[in-house]
Amino acid sequence: MDRKELEQQVMEIVAMAYGRDAEDITLETSFKNDLKGASIQMVGLVSELENELDVMVSLQDASACETVGELINKVEEEM
């Protein structure tokens, strides 16, 4: 999977986990300021990343990411 495919797939998973439209999610989308989700949504996001991409990202690592772009970098590191 190339970087663009990974970005698209992670953005779609983020949109699903946070109940947003995928078109509204960018690399700069902030989990705290833009998505304003509850911690349970991050748990669901991490679980979905593991299921869909077969990659292990810890909840702690994912929660430390401020933007979707940072999360994508973390997922890419773990692949």
pLDDT, tens digit (0-9, with 9 covering 90-100), for 52-69: 999 999 999 999 999 999
∠ CA 48-79-57 to the nearest 5 degrees?
Answer: 45
Question: What pLDDT score does 75 carry?
Answer: 96
**CB atoms < 10 A from the CB of 29, how many?**
20
Residues β-bridged to residue 67 = 30
pTM (two decimals): 0.93
Q: Of the candidates 71, 72, 76, 68, which has an alpha carbon nearest to the alpha carbon of residue 24?
A: 68
> Domain spanning 3-78 has what CATH number?
1.10.1200.10
User: Could you tell me the two tokens for 36?
Assistant: 């304003």
